[in-house]
Structure 1
Amino acid sequence: MIEKFYKAPIVYIILAGILITAFLFNSLMNYADEGNAVMVILLGISIGIVAIFITRALTYQKNRGLFPK
């Protein structure tokens, strides 16, 4: 399943990453307003994990020659 994600078109990967990150960031701000430090830390970590997956997918496509020329 992860290989399918890595081979998806770049536009889809970026759009999915933006949507997921925006949702997580919005949730992070809501929990910060409530003063829930644990959820703020967990959501910050999850935003970082999403960024790592996006970076890995883009580097996989670059190294495998899947970028359109």
Structure 2
Amino acid sequence: MGFWSSVGNVAKSVAGRVEAAGQEANVIAEDYRQEDDDYLKRKLRSGKATEKMAAAKVLKERGYGNQG
């Protein structure tokens, strides 16, 4: 197996993990839409990566981060 073949396999693996994390964040975001802003801000500061992604998504939907 050549170098570039190995690089391609690693890239595919990483892409799969990123896609899975995005899907998990979307599922979590569905639950987070029922939570208040303070809860989401706490998750954004101290949650796992997928929880942070989900909290950021819901807060953005609510208008946070759109200043400027």
- TM-score, normalised to structure 2, is 0.44
More helix by share: 1
* Structure ranking higher on relative contact order (CA contacts 8 Å, 6+ apart): 1
Rg comparison, structure with higher value: 2
TM-score by length of 1: 0.43
